[in-house]
């Protein structure tokens, strides 16, 4: 825990009665000047802290941002051991990749409440206005590169589970979209670095549409509208991170095989018809969705029998 987090947690503990600068300094083991500096920094991150003469500091309100200090206490999983960011950035995937290259450990997470250059699959832009949650997780699976594509499904399933816990009827759309009947709720983007066929790191980024902001995102569904209640962005980030921790933990032990049934069960348009296209729009196959196989490949019942498709750079059209 950083000194700033300690100041925040002491302020939380003091509740409405507040706590003096002197008592805070003593409790944390820093000077009163240092406490004042951290209080100023917390205020500039959006915390409303009142300074009352003769009494000290009182926390009035925490910001509705997925800040590490807000998300960490809501996490059940211990997988995510280092949380960064929380406010605006260009792309959490880029920030997380920089940390990965600098040797950050598996379990590092970068959070944001807005991205100025969010990226989606197939080189697309990912609109990232306020009202969403943008998260990237650093994974270092001891796996060959060939096992990375199913990891995108593992992350999408984890995010979908987290969103279901919060009250959304979320499903997965192969390979890594999280959808509802009213539109796309979340997307997943995996970026990987490998050395002689062994994975060095995977940055698994996901963005969730929580509430509509000023920017209208075509085709988007919003979590608060689906759940029928308001929620804190930190709550959304924590639920999804717990969901991803759960599916990734199983993947690490048992591989994608363990996810095959739960993923297939949560597939949108299960039993419905779908067309698989490559990045140029060329149709690779069409038929009824049967589910996924042990490697996360999409199984379609086509006119010529069952066909399997790898996720790589293909898209599924309902
Ligand atoms: C998609 O559906 O095309 C994938 C969207 C992935 C967006 C997330 S938001 C957090 C992370 N940072 C990015 O720049 N992209 C991913």
Question: What's the rounded mean pLDDT across residues 228-241?
Answer: 97
pLDDT at 314: 53
Q: Are 33 and 24 in contact (CB under 8 A)?
A: no
Which tens digits make up the pLDDT trace of 178-206?
A: 999 999 999 999 999 998 888 999 999 99
Phi, psi of 24 (to 5 degrees): -60, -45
Both structure tokens of 316: 């599924």
Question: In testing the pocket of ligand 1, which one of 89, 121, 134 has its CB within 8 Å of the most ligand atoms?
Answer: 134
Q: How far, in Å, from the CA of 55 to the mean position of ligand 1?
A: 46
pLDDT at 269: 66
Q: Are 42 and 67 in contact (CB under 8 A)?
A: no
Question: What's the rounded mean pLDDT across residues 247-251?
Answer: 96
**What distances in angstroms separate CA 145 from CA 53, 142, 184, 267, one per listed residue?**
60, 10, 28, 25
pLDDT at 147: 83
Mention every residue, 6+ apart, whose C-beta is less than 8 A from residue 299.
Answer: 289, 290, 291, 292, 293, 306, 307, 308
pLDDT at 316: 58
Q: How far, in Å, from the CA of 187 to the mean position of ligand 1?
A: 6
At residue 26 the predicted structure's pLDDT band, cuts being 50, 70 and 90, is very high
Q: How far, in Å, from the CA of 188 to the mean position of ligand 1?
A: 6
Question: What's the rounded mean pLDDT across residues 297-311?
Answer: 90
Which tens digits make up the pLDDT trace of 282-294?
A: 888 889 999 999 9
Both structure tokens of 8: 């925040």
Q: Are 313 and 277 in contact (CB under 8 A)?
A: no
Q: How far, in Å, from the CA of 128 to the mean position of ligand 1?
A: 9
Closest by CA position to 278, among listed 317, 316, 318, 314: 314
Question: What's the rounded mean pLDDT across residues 66-78?
Answer: 95
Question: What's the rounded mean pLDDT across residues 137-146?
Answer: 92
Percentage of the residues of the chain whose pLDDT score is greater than 70: 97
pLDDT at 313: 44
Q: How far apart are the C-alpha atoms of 294 and 317, rounded to whole Å? A: 22
pLDDT higher for 261 or 279?
261
Is 213 strand, coil or helix? coil
pTM of the model: 0.92
Q: Are 153 and 263 in contact (CB under 8 A)?
A: yes
Helix H segments across the chain? 3-14, 21-28, 32-44, 68-71, 92-101, 149-165, 223-227, 233-254, 257-265
Which of 4-13, 21-30, 228-237 is most confident? 228-237
Average pLDDT, the chain: 92
H helices then E strands: how many in the chain? 9, 16
At residue 244 the predicted structure's pLDDT band, cuts being 50, 70 and 90, is very high
Give the dihedral sign, CA 300/302/304/305.
Answer: positive
Question: What's the rounded mean pLDDT across residues 247-272?
Answer: 88
Which tens digits make up the pLDDT trace of 76-118?
A: 999 999 999 999 999 999 999 999 999 999 999 999 999 999 9
Question: What's the rounded mean pLDDT across residues 249-256?
Answer: 94
Question: In testing the pocket of ligand 1, which one of 185, 206, 279, 314 has its CB within 8 Å of the most ligand atoms?
Answer: 206
Give the dihedral sign, CA 224/230/234/239.
Answer: negative
Q: How far apart are the C-alpha atoms of 20 and 174, rounded to whole Å? A: 54
**What distances in angstroms separate CA 180 from CA 131, 217, 221, one per listed residue?**
18, 15, 7
Phi, psi of 32 (to 5 degrees): -65, -35
pLDDT at 282: 86
Q: How far apart are the C-alpha atoms of 149 and 116, rounded to whole Å? A: 27
Question: What's the rounded mean pLDDT across residues 123-145?
Answer: 93
Percentage of the residues of the chain whose pLDDT score is greater than 90: 75
At residue 229 the predicted structure's pLDDT band, cuts being 50, 70 and 90, is very high
């Amino acid at each position: 825990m950083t000194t700033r987090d300690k100041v925040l947690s002491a302020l939380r503990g003091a509740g409405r009665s507040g706590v003096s600068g002197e008592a805070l300094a003593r409790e944390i083991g820093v000077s009163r000047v240092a406490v004042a500096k951290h209080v100023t920094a917390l205020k500039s991150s959006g915390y409303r802290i009142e300074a009352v003469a003769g009494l000290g500091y009182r926390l009035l309100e925490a910001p509705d941002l997925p800040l590490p200090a807000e998300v960490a206490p809501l996490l059940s999983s211990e997988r995510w051991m280092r949380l960064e960011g929380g406010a605006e950035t260009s792309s959490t995937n880029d920030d997380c990749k920089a940390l990965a290259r600098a040797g950050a450990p598996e379990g590092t997470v970068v959070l944001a409440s807005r991205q100025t250059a969010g990226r989606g699959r197939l080189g697309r832009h990912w609109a990232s206005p306020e009202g969403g949650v943008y998260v990237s997780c650093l994974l270092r699976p001891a796996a060959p590169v060939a096992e990375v594509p199913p990891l995108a499904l593992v992350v999408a399933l984890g995010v979908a589970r987290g969103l279901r816990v919060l009250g959304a009827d979320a499903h997965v759309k192969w390979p890594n979209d999280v959808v509802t009947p009213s539109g796309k709720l979340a997307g997943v983007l995996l970026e990987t670095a490998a050395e002689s066929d062994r994975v060095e790191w995977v940055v698994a980024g996901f963005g969730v549409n929580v509430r509509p902001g000023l920017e209208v995102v075509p085709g988007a569904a919003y979590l608060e509208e689906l759940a029928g209640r308001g929620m804190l962005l930190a709550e959304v980030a924590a639920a999804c991170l717990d969901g991803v921790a759960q599916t990734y933990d199983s993947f690490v032990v048992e591989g994608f095989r363990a996810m095959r049934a739960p993923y297939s069960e949560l597939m949108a348009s299960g039993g419905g018809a779908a067309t698989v296209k490559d990045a140029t729009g060329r149709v690779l196959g069409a038929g009824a969705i049967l589910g996924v196989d042990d490697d996360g490949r999409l199984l379609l019942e086509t006119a010529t029998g069952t066909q399997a498709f790898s996720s790589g750079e293909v898209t599924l059209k309902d």
